[in-house]
Amino acid sequence: MTGKWIILIALGSCRSSFLKTPAVPSSKMPVSNELDYIVHTDQLDRKQNAGRVLFLPRSNKVRQWMVRDSIRLSRVKEIRGMDSLVTDEDKWNAGLIYLHGGGIISSNDSSNCKTAYTLFDDLYLHGKSYGMKKNGETWSRLALEQLNELRKK
């Protein structure tokens, strides 16, 4: 019975409605709102593609997802380059996008993991709330583990 549930969940996650929502906002908005939007579409893509990654890893939809990851990472790099990551939440959101690696343009780029680690570690050391400090601590550790795995390759 468990196997049937796994297949049903995987097939349910193969809907492609996520592709109708732009990976980054199409209109100008404040940086914090833009980063919220970017992380929201990132998480939506991941939820919608769980089954594809398992059962159809070379599908066109998975490739489109990777392109969308690349678009998101490029935009977050622009924002970070303008020194516009002001709030703890901005740093957190940017760290998540960096940790996801940027899709096809840099899926194994250790510099993205290093940047994610730096952002999360900054939250751990300088976050304004206890919750954000704990998140920073946990996620900086995860980013460091992923970075070390990439360095082994």
pLDDT tens column, 94-118: 999 999 876 655 556 788 989 999 9
Six token digits for residue 87: 């709030």
Residue reference for tokens 């998975």: 62
Mean pLDDT across 59-70: 83
Cβ neighbors of 114 (< 8 A, separation 6 or more) are: 143, 147
pLDDT over 50 (residue 8): no
**For residue 86, what are the CA distances in angstroms to 17, 34, 37, 113, 121?**
32, 13, 16, 20, 15
Residue 34 near residue 79, CB atoms below 8 Å? yes
Q: Average pLDDT over the chain, rounded to whole? A: 83
What confidence score (pLDDT) does residue 21 get?
Answer: 85
Please, where are the H alpha helices in the chain?
2-12, 31-55, 60-81, 88-99, 110-126, 130-152
What's the rounded mean pLDDT across residues 78-90? Answer: 96
Q: Where are the domains of the chain?
A: 28-152
pTM reported for the whole predicted model: 0.81
Q: What are 111-142's pLDDT values in tens digits?
A: 898 999 999 999 999 999 999 999 999 999 99
pLDDT score at 102: 65
- Return the number of other C-beta atoms located less than 10 Å from residue 62's C-beta: 14
- 133 contacts 76 by C-beta, under 8 angstroms: no
CA 36/CA 150 separation, integer angstroms: 27
Report the pLDDT value the prediction gives residue 119, as an integer from 0 to 100.
Answer: 97
**Higher pLDDT residue, 84 or 149?**
84
In the block, residue with structure tokens 């290093």: 114
